[in-house]
Amino acid sequence: MLRLALVLKRSWPRLAGYAMIPLIRALVWLARLLGPQRSTAFGAGLLRRIGPLLPAHRTALANLRAAFPEMPEAERRLIALEAWDNLGRVGAEYAHLDSLFDYDPAAAGPLRTEVAGIEHFATLRDDGEPGLIFSAHLANWELPAIAAARFGLDATAVFRPPNNPAAARLVQEVRRRSMGGLAASKPGAVFAMRDVVEQGGHLGQLIDQHFTRGVVVQFLGRPCLANPLLAKLVRHYECPVHGVRVVRLPEGRFRLELTPPLDLPRAADGTIDVPGAMQAMTAVVESWVRENPGQWLWMHRRWRPDMLPKARAMPPSAAVPVQPSQANVISQAADQAL
């Protein structure tokens, strides 16, 4: 009985997650029934009320105070509410992802989405060379992968599956219907990512999350850890790197913006400097966040000071500790593969 109790205790979070599958499917059905405008308004209103009651709200406010120390507290609290509003809209929009992106350069009437930097997109698609694309959790961050699939860009999106099994299954189903290639950030996945680039494809990744075995970068005035995968790939393959962001506009509209290829810093031997390259990409993301702070995911624990001494002391080729996290495994595999 004791062993059974221990097994149930360890399995409870996963079992509870699977038990939520019917509830999440019912919410998706309701969102589809309400339509894009009403469902996103409902999701936004719900999280504006519930979000400030959650522990993640304290994380958001702490992040905002550190990022904008001169800003009045009332303004920081307003940005936190806007971030909850955006997250509620993103959640509701999963039920409508296949119809959110309607950009058509030949269309005469108003559209829900517009694209800036379309000439860079055309170059990426038609040059026959591999390419790398970085993005961040701004507005609805799923749209770039949908846009790539819709207009024939051979692209694979790297994603981190949600911890909740029900949410992970739903997100995977939605992504498969509306996106191109997908690569989950799990052990061994780096080899598939390398193959994408070697075969002339394009790899896209969100780079604004904490990565345990990352390189140290400055972001919004504080050091944090960034996943070095894209920098390692560009160092090895010498392919162009673009940034793409989504801006949420009034009346349920969006703008996608693709940057020109970045001129990344190089080491003394002429190869791409990995920490410097990640700092350059992070600086672009910072400019995006500063421009639209209410559309970024402030609830994430992006800054973890306790991890920084370990990162500084650990060389790229250091051995992986016992029972490594997924992040450690992926980083070590990247060093070996590249």
**What confidence tens digit (pLDDT) does each residue in 30-70 have?**
777 888 888 999 999 999 999 999 999 999 999 999 999 99
* Domain annotation covers residue 3: no
pTM here is 0.81
* Domain annotation covers residue 20: no
**What confidence tens digit (pLDDT) does each residue in 187-233 have?**
556 777 787 888 888 889 999 999 888 999 999 999 999 999 999 99
* Domain annotation covers residue 29: no
Q: What is the dihedral of CA 13, 17, 18, 24, to 10 degrees?
A: 170
Query: What's the average model confidence in pLDDT over 87-95?
Result: 90
Query: Would you call 200 helix, strand, or coil by DSSP?
Result: coil
* Domain annotation covers residue 52: no
Most confident of 4-8, 251-255, 308-312: 251-255
* Domain annotation covers residue 167: yes
Residue 169 has pLDDT above 60, yes or no: yes
- Which residues sit opposite 205 in a β-bridge? 134, 158
Number of structural domains in the chain: 1
Contact of 162 with 171, CB cutoff 8 Å: yes
**What confidence tens digit (pLDDT) does each residue in 97-130 have?**
878 888 888 777 778 899 998 888 888 888 888 9
**What confidence tens digit (pLDDT) does each residue in 276-330 have?**
999 999 999 999 999 999 999 999 999 998 877 765 654 443 333 333 333 443 3
Range of the domain at 125: 105-316+323-337
* Domain annotation covers residue 227: yes
Residue 185 has pLDDT above 80, yes or no: no
Where residue 205 sits, what CATH number does that domain have? 3.40.1130
What is the model's pLDDT at position 177? 59
Residue 241 has pLDDT above 90, yes or no: yes
Distance CA 174, CA 5 (A): 36
* Domain annotation covers residue 130: yes
Query: What's the average model confidence in pLDDT over 143-154?
Result: 84
Query: What's the average model confidence in pLDDT over 75-98?
Result: 92
**What stretches of the chain show up as alpha helix (H) in DSSP?**
2-19, 21-34, 36-50, 55-67, 73-93, 97-100, 118-126, 143-150, 165-178, 189-198, 229-237, 274-291, 308-313, 326-337
What is the model's pLDDT at position 315? 47
* Domain annotation covers residue 67: no
